[in-house]
A and B are shown apart, each in its own frame.
Chain A
Amino acid sequence: GENVEQHPSTLSVQEGDSAVIKCTYSDSASNYFPWYKQELGKRPQLIIDIRSNVGEKKDQRIAVTLNKTAKHFSLHITETQPEDSAVYFCAASMNSGGSNYKLTFGKGTLLTVNP
């Protein structure tokens, strides 16, 4: 089955700096890669996703890049703010013919943005 590795497990940055979180996946058939943010005691929330027919996607201060050949994808957060502090999860799944295949998650990255 699919295996997703996520690095680093913890990341501490100064407010205003950029943060990068990297994930690798094992199943070349995976074609959907979402990123979730989970604040302490709250539910995971989708912040951005990318499909395998796209190499990069951006939404304001966050962006995701995908390298299908190397089977890795990354989350980039620019101009970090204290409210970006949370655990970030990457995930991978295969969607085919409208079926919603299971999401396999990385172990998460605890991002701390210091004021």
Chain B
Amino acid sequence: KAGVTQTPRYLIKTRGQQVTLSCSPISGHRSVSWYQQTPGQGLQFLFEYFSETQRNKGNFPGRFSGRQFSNSRSEMNVSTLELGDSALYLCASSYGNNNEQFFGPGTRLTVL
């Protein structure tokens, strides 16, 4: 089975712009979670989607949003980018009935 994939792998944006990141889960997995990883804050939960519905949300501002499509692929969007949004954004998929999550390689976002 192919693993979790994320596109793009690297992205450079400037403050005020918006960005959309994509995540394709492992085939058959219906749950997709998103995390932000920074050296200072570690891995922080953004949100989780299951069957196109957001089930859980972390403590991030409304500039961070996401969605999931009927094929379980997920996107996250960050609007009005700030310097502090520079991070590695990881998505993880799971079958849905247990908690074992498989991570993608991440998208490295740099905001200048």
Interface positions of A from 71 to 115, Cβ below 8 Å from B: 89, 91, 93, 95, 98-108
| A102 and B100 within 8 A (CB) | no
| A102 and B94 within 8 A (CB) | no
Interface positions of B from 33 to 51, Cβ below 8 Å from A: 33, 35, 42-45, 48, 50
Interface-centre pick from B42, B43, B58, B100 (highest chain A CB count, 10 A): B43
| A105 and B43 within 8 A (CB) | yes
A 17-54 binary contact with B (CB < 8 Å = 1; else 0): 00000000000000010101000001111100100000
Majority DSSP secondary structure for residues of B touching A: strand
Contact A95:B99 (CB < 8 A) given known A43-B105, A44-B43, A106-B42? yes
| B96 and A100 within 8 A (CB) | yes
| B33 and A102 within 8 A (CB) | yes
With both beta carbons as reference points, the residue of chain A lying nearest to B102 in the complex is identified as: A46
| A93 and B99 within 8 A (CB) | yes
CA distance A107 to B44 in the complex (A): 10
CA distance A1 to B102 in the complex (A): 23
Majority DSSP secondary structure for residues of A touching B: strand
- Is B74 interfacial (CB 8 A cutoff)? no
- Chain B residues with Cβ below 8 Å from A43 are 90, 103-106
With both beta carbons as reference points, the residue of chain B lying nearest to A36 in the complex is identified as: B103
Instruction: Known pairs A43-B90, A43-B106, A100-B98; list 10 more (Cβ under 8 Å).
Output: A34-B99, A46-B102, A99-B55, A100-B33, A100-B48, A100-B99, A102-B56, A103-B35, A103-B101, A104-B45
Measured CB to CB, the residues of A under 8 A from B are 1, 32, 34, 36, 42-46, 49, 89, 91, 93, 95, 98-108
* 15 pairs from A and B in contact (CB 8 Å cutoff): A1-B59, A89-B42, A99-B50, A100-B33, A100-B48, A100-B50, A100-B55, A100-B98, A101-B99, A102-B45, A102-B48, A102-B56, A103-B35, A103-B43, A108-B43
